Amino acid sequence: MTTLCSSVNFFIWQDEYETGDTDIDEQHRTIVETVNILNHACVTGSSEETVRRIMRDLFDFSQYHFFTEERQLLLLNGTAYHKHKREHEQILRFLRTNCERDLSSQELRHQMCTLVRKVYARHMYSSDKRDIAAAQSAPEMVAARKRAGESRAD
Ligand SMILES: [Fe+2]
């Protein structure tokens, strides 16, 4: 039998997930927190309706979050932008499929939570870290930050 992790410590925020963009990091923290809420609902035997509602919340927030990221990622070259956007589409497909999956046993619920955590941890640690950092150092972004700093100093 699978031992379910403590709901609080299921998905632990790591400094390594930081991208350097305050808004995106804040949204990533919200995603981590929502996965912990999802796991808590599974561990404590919440109804299927409750678990599916949290999954839909995660889906909706992810859509919004990916849109935020993609606005910045437009500063990358086309290949990098489209590769990252495709990953977002895959994650949304994965979440949509899991909104409908069989949740009739603790084992199946645990499998789902573990997969959701893995998908997000991998995406934040690799693609987001690399591509958001690159967008942050794009000349347009550096110039915009400089202008914002100058206008605050006025
Ligand atoms: Fe991303």
* This prediction's pTM: 0.88
Tell me whether residue 35 is in a domain: yes
User: Does residue 13 sit within a domain?
Assistant: no
Kindly state whether residue 6 falls inside one of the protein's structural domains.
Answer: no
Dihedral in degrees, nearest 10, Cα atoms 22, 28, 29, 33: 160
Domain count, the chain: 1
Which of the four pLDDT bands, split at 50, 70 and 90, describes residue 146?
confident
> What value, to the nearest 5°, has the Cα angle with vertex 120 and ends 79 and 128?
35
Distance CA 29, CA 12 (A): 10
- The pLDDT of residue 6: 55
The CATH number linked to 98 is 1.20.120
The protein residues having their C-beta less than 5 angstroms from ligand 1 (an ion) are 69, 128
Q: How far is the CA of 105 from the centre of ligand 1 (A)?
A: 31
Whole-number Å distance, alpha carbon 151 to ligand 1 midpoint, is 30
CA of 40 to the centre of ligand 1 (A): 25
Asked if the structure places residue 9 within a domain, the reply is no
Tallying the residues shown for the chain, one arrives at: 154
Find the domain containing 143 and state its range: 22-153
pLDDT at 57: 97
pLDDT digits (tens, 9 = 90+) for 18-51: 998 999 999 999 999 999 999 999 999 999 999 9
Sign, CA dihedral 90-91-96-101, equals positive
Query: Comparing C-alpha atoms, which of 56, 133, 71 is closest to residue 101?
Result: 56
Q: Determine, yes or no, domain membership for 90.
A: yes
**4 is a domain residue:** no
Give the distance (Å) from ligand 1 centre to CA of residue 104: 31
Q: In whole numbers, what is the pLDDT of the chain averaged over residues? A: 91
Instruction: Spell 86-118 as b/e; 16+ CB within 10 A means b.
Output: ebbeebeeebeebbeeebeeeeebbbbbbebbe
CA of 77 to the centre of ligand 1 (A): 15
Alpha carbon of 130 to ligand 1 centroid (Å) = 10
Tens-digit pLDDT profile for residues 54-72:
999 999 999 999 999 999 9
Nearest CA among 135, 151, 142, 150 for reference residue 24: 135
Residue 64 lies in a domain: yes
**Confidence at residue 145, expressed as pLDDT on a 0 to 100 scale:** 80
Asked if residue 8 is part of any domain, the answer here is: no
